[in-house]
Amino acid sequence: MRRTVIAGNWKMNMTPSQTAAFIKELAPCVAGKDACDIVLCVPYVDIATAVEAAKGTNIKIGAENVHFEEKGAYTGEVSCAMLKEIGAEYVIIGHSERRQYFGETDTTVNLRTKAALAAGFKAIVCLGEVKDERLAGITDEIVSMQTKLDLAGISAEDLKNVIIAYEPVWAIGTGLTATPEQADETCGVIRKTIADLYGDEAAEAITIQYGGSMNDKNAAELLAKVNVDGGLIGGASLKVDAFTAIVDAANA
């Protein structure tokens, strides 16, 4: 069966010292809760500290983005080799905030995903519809198209290291959550698209997370759905008690 993955996306929050203190507090709360993988994706400058703090625990560390070129004149960007050397194991790619504020497209998401997989990372590829697309009734078409474009040229073997995060943009940071039924249905559309591209076995095996105001109150209901294999959590991943409660829901 596919793995449930509970991952925090810290976005632009936490300094290195806050990172160390957070993980020290979190580690005993989630120790032994191994029915899910537990990941914290943190700002670049916090990664080395986070990796050190998470040593000997069941918490894995990831980055929030990565560039697709190996090196060169790309001011402000960070390469796969840099992230590897400091011990990151996961990379979020194509988050809607990257698409919305920093000009990322399905093309750059695809390039970054390919680079991350070639470098041996687990890639958490984010996609999801905006509010107008849901209201227009074209959510299924949008997520299906994004799945195809974001994964173009990725082999079935490399797909084993891909996690999809379905994040309806209207639910991110808004306190609005997709209903468990909406989350299940749209994750199901993504799974069907994967089946069309890679076959039923690959579709059954891939982890598809839900993201968008998942918290300690709604996690159990969302995670109970057959097509929801975990969460990508923003705000609630910044609080030890809330994040622990979500891990508990995945272990119930």
Site for ligand 13P in 57-96 (CB under 6 A): 95
> Should residue 14 be labelled a site residue for ligand 13P when binding is judged by CB under 6 A?
no
In the bound state with ligand 13P, the residue whose beta carbon lies nearer, of 188 and 235, is 235
Strand intervals (E) in the chain: 4-9, 36-41, 59-63, 90-93, 122-127, 162-166, 207-211, 230-233
- Could you say which of 64, 104, 129, 167 is catalytic? 167
Among 93, 233, 246, 247, indicate the residue that binds ligand 13P (CB under 6 A). Answer: 233
In the bound state with ligand 13P, the residue whose beta carbon lies nearer, of 28 and 173, is 173
In the bound state with ligand 13P, the residue whose beta carbon lies nearer, of 155 and 179, is 179
Q: What is the rounded distance in angstroms from the CA atom of residue 99 to the CA atom of residue 185?
A: 23
- Could you say which of 67, 95, 104, 129 is catalytic? 95
**Whole-Å CA distances, 230 to 19, 34, 88, 92, 109:** 23, 13, 20, 14, 21
Q: Per CB under 6 A, which region of 115-123, 138-146, 154-162, 206-214 contacts ligand 13P?
A: 206-214
Whether the CB-CB separation of 162 and 117 falls below 8 Å is answered with yes
Q: What is the rounded distance in angstroms from the CA atom of residue 231 to the CA atom of residue 4?
A: 8
Whether the CB-CB separation of 87 and 114 falls below 8 Å is answered with no
> Should residue 120 be labelled a site residue for ligand 13P when binding is judged by CB under 6 A?
no
Helix (H, G, I), strand (E, B) or coil at 213: coil
> Should residue 213 be labelled a site residue for ligand 13P when binding is judged by CB under 6 A?
yes
**Closest by CA position to 147, among listed 179, 117, 186:** 186
Among 117, 212, 230, 243, indicate the residue that binds ligand 13P (CB under 6 A). Answer: 212
Q: To the nearest whole angstrom, how small is the minimum distance from the Cβ of residue 166 to ligand 13P?
A: 11
Number of residues that bind ligand 13P (CB under 6 A): 14
Catalytic residue at 95? Answer: yes
Summarize as ranges the residues that interact with ligand 13P (CB under 6 A). 9, 95, 167, 172-173, 211-214, 232-236
For the annotated catalytic residues, the residue numbers are 95, 167
